[in-house]
Chain A
Amino acid sequence: MITMEHVCKSYKIAKRNAGFGEAVKALFHRDYEVIHALKDVNFTISDGEIVGYIGPNGAGKSSTIKILSGILTPDCGTVLVDGRDPFKNRIKHVKEIGVVFGQRSQLWWDVPVIDSFELLKDIYSIPDSHYRQSLEELTELLDLSELMRSPARQLSLGQRMRCEIAASLLHRPRILFLDEPTIGLDAVSKLAVRNFILELNKTRGTTVILTTHDMQDIEALASRIILIGKGRILLDGTLDDIRRGGDNIDETVAELYRTYNI
């Protein structure tokens, strides 16, 4: 169970206009602007749900994921994941969660993928039998057998992403945070990843929170949708709740963003 109550998060950002003169001026005086990424965010997610967390660019999706995974501290409010404060009990907390950041890499660049997996096995203290079983399953479902012995730097984006997802699941997390996990995947891999997530949710009851701009991902996976815009939760419902107007899902969502003026 995940609860967020009255969570706020702001960042201080140095801003200046373009040009050399402005750059020199910034040496002596810097203008900071405080960006409120999250303003009073509240929601509760039960075990076994798949939640699509959507919103336009810069809405606060990634900040939420980072707070839930214990990487960032909220400025105010309470966050509880299975009764734990993610930041204060970071080490205990992260054992139970898996995170995929679609635009980053967790694999070691210069060594074969399997070496990164072996390291994760030790980091999470995964017992041998569990590890072998997880690895077998993931290899089959995500079609990794050809990729495992290559260094991460020689994989294409889509191939690497499949390995990244596998890496985040080796320790069988109870909660999975996916921050744009289908970036760069081809149609076949995308379908494979979606089926895989559904399967994981069905057989193990893994809670999944997914942020994406690919609305087909949301359509295929999410039983519940949370819409965030300008740091506030604007809508919390099912896919049917937002299905008014627009012929396809992308138009529907664009219409929704327009409605909320975000």
Chain B
Amino acid sequence: MKKYLSFFRLRFTMNLQYRAAAFGGVATQFAWGFMEIMIFAAFYRADENAFPMSLASTASYLWLQQAFLALFATWMTEQEIFDTIVNGNIAYELCRPVDIYGMWFSRSIATRLSRAVLRCFPILIVAAFLPYPYGICAPAGPKHFILFLITLLLGLAMTVSFCVLIYILAFFTISPVGLQMIFTSMTDFFAGALIPLPFFPAKLQTVMELLPFAAMQNVPLRIYSGSMSGHEMQKAVFLQIFWLIVVTAAGKMLCRAAQKRVTVQGG
């Protein structure tokens, strides 16, 4: 366990040194957040009652999404991991007494957390001071806030587990480009990264909520703003845990198969 914690620590401290990237990230997220809220506000002006969430809840959802983007964006994969597979440096990783899956998992968690830590505070603070209904509201209640934190971590673990699965698939395809394109556009759509899931037609939403993608950012962001009932929250947390176990187990199994047929590229 200490090994994996060390990976985590080194990765975390390493990422804290990229200040310019963090600054750029914050600026982008602000621009993106404002743009999205303006679009939604324009729709709400037409008919406020036509929407499943209030504008204030939607704004909270969007700001939290922008603040914690680094935790959930599946397009933020680690190029270095793909590179080790493509150029064959994986050879060194395989001659260490560590489990490849565990190593990549702890490393990805660290990268995402360190990025989020650098980026979230300016966004959260500014969004908290924006006038109602364009800013971030207080959580629906103390219970909601605690559940938000728990599901945030579960959602992060779920996202990482999913990304590690993509890394492992790259063992088989060698080039990661196609995999990344398919999986990231799919998750962006199904996870509620483009539009929150309640905005989809009811039938489609029921199906989407059962999928593993809904176990990522959808749950914490909606619990915070109170747009889920008690029963829905219970079900969502259960599904998060269920998918986390399934996707992790699948990843580990595939990892074992990949190692058996691995070809180390280049000499």
Chain A residues at the B interface, C-beta cutoff of 8 Å: 11, 62, 66, 69-73, 90-92, 94-95, 97, 99, 101, 103-106, 108, 110-111, 115, 118-119, 122-125
Verify A71–B262 contact, CB threshold 8 A: yes
Name which of B46-54, B94-102, B218-226 contacts chain A: B94-102
Inter-chain CA distance A242–B14, complex, in Å, is 51
- Please give me the residue from chain A that is nearest to B84 by CB atom: A104
**Residue from B3, B13, B88 within 8 A of A125 (CB atoms):** B3
Inter-chain CA distance A249–B98, complex, in Å, is 41
Verify A123–B91 contact, CB threshold 8 A: no
Smallest CB–CB gap between A12 and chain B, Å?
8
In the assembled complex, which residues on chain A have CB atoms less than 8 Å from the CB atom of B89?
104-106
In the assembled complex, which residues on chain B have CB atoms less than 8 Å from the CB atom of A115?
10, 14
Inter-chain CA distance A249–B30, complex, in Å, is 67
**Given A71-B262, A119-B6, A119-B10, A99–B97 Cβ distance below 8 Å?**
no
Inter-chain CA distance A123–B92, complex, in Å, is 13
Inter-chain CA distance A11–B264, complex, in Å, is 10
- Please give me the residue from chain B that is nearest to A62 by CB atom: B267
Asked if B7 CB lies within 8 Å of chain A CBs, one says yes
In the assembled complex, which residues on chain B have CB atoms less than 8 Å from the CB atom of A71?
91, 94-95, 262, 264
**Residue from A90, A99, A104, A110 within 8 A of B88 (CB atoms):** A104
Interface centre among B3, B17, B91 (most CB of A within 10 A): B91
Inter-chain CA distance A62–B267, complex, in Å, is 6
**Residue from A91, A104, A106, A119 within 8 A of B97 (CB atoms):** A91
Smallest CB–CB gap between B2 and chain A, Å?
6
Inter-chain CA distance A123–B96, complex, in Å, is 7
| Given A97-B95, A106-B89, A123-B98, 8 other A-B residues pairs in contact with their CB atoms under 8 A | A11-B263, A91-B97, A91-B98, A99-B91, A105-B89, A106-B92, A111-B14, A115-B10
In the assembled complex, which residues on chain B have CB atoms less than 8 Å from the CB atom of A91?
97-99
- Please give me the residue from chain B that is nearest to A167 by CB atom: B92
Asked if B143 CB lies within 8 Å of chain A CBs, one says no
Interface centre among B2, B7, B14, B92 (most CB of A within 10 A): B92
In the assembled complex, which residues on chain B have CB atoms less than 8 Å from the CB atom of A122?
2-3, 5-6
Inter-chain CA distance A77–B17, complex, in Å, is 49
Verify B10–A104 contact, CB threshold 8 A: no
- Chain B: interface residue total (CB-CB under 8 A): 25
Verify B95–A94 contact, CB threshold 8 A: yes
Question: What are 9 A-B residue pairs whose CB atoms fall within 8 Å in the complex?
Answer: A73-B260, A94-B96, A99-B91, A99-B95, A103-B267, A106-B92, A110-B17, A122-B5, A123-B98
Smallest CB–CB gap between B145 and chain A, Å?
35
Smallest CB–CB gap between B237 and chain A, Å?
33
Verify B97–A94 contact, CB threshold 8 A: yes
- Please give me the residue from chain B that is nearest to A12 by CB atom: B263
Interface centre among A11, A62, A99, A122 (most CB of B within 10 A): A122
In the assembled complex, which residues on chain A have CB atoms less than 8 Å from the CB atom of B92?
99, 101, 104-106
Smallest CB–CB gap between A131 and chain B, Å?
13
- Please give me the residue from chain A that is nearest to B266 by CB atom: A103
In the assembled complex, which residues on chain B have CB atoms less than 8 Å from the CB atom of A124?
96-97
- Please give me the residue from chain B that is nearest to A109 by CB atom: B80
- Please give me the residue from chain B that is nearest to A61 by CB atom: B267
Inter-chain CA distance A207–B94, complex, in Å, is 21
In the assembled complex, which residues on chain B have CB atoms less than 8 Å from the CB atom of A111?
10, 13-14
Verify A104–B91 contact, CB threshold 8 A: yes
In the assembled complex, which residues on chain A have CB atoms less than 8 Å from the CB atom of B98?
91, 123
**Residue from A106, A108, A123 within 8 A of B3 (CB atoms):** A123
Smallest CB–CB gap between B248 and chain A, Å?
19
In the assembled complex, which residues on chain B have CB atoms less than 8 Å from the CB atom of A106?
89, 92
Q: Provide the B85-122 mask, 1 if CB < 8 A to any CB of A, else 0.
A: 00011011011111100000000000000000000000
- Please give me the residue from chain A that is nearest to B88 by CB atom: A104
Inter-chain CA distance A163–B98, complex, in Å, is 21
Nearest 9 interchain pairs by C-beta: A122-B6, A106-B92, A71-B94, A91-B97, A95-B97, A99-B95, A94-B95, A69-B95, A123-B3
Inter-chain CA distance A73–B256, complex, in Å, is 12
- Please give me the residue from chain A that is nearest to B14 by CB atom: A111
**Given A72-B264, A73-B260, A104-B88, A119–B99 Cβ distance below 8 Å?**
no
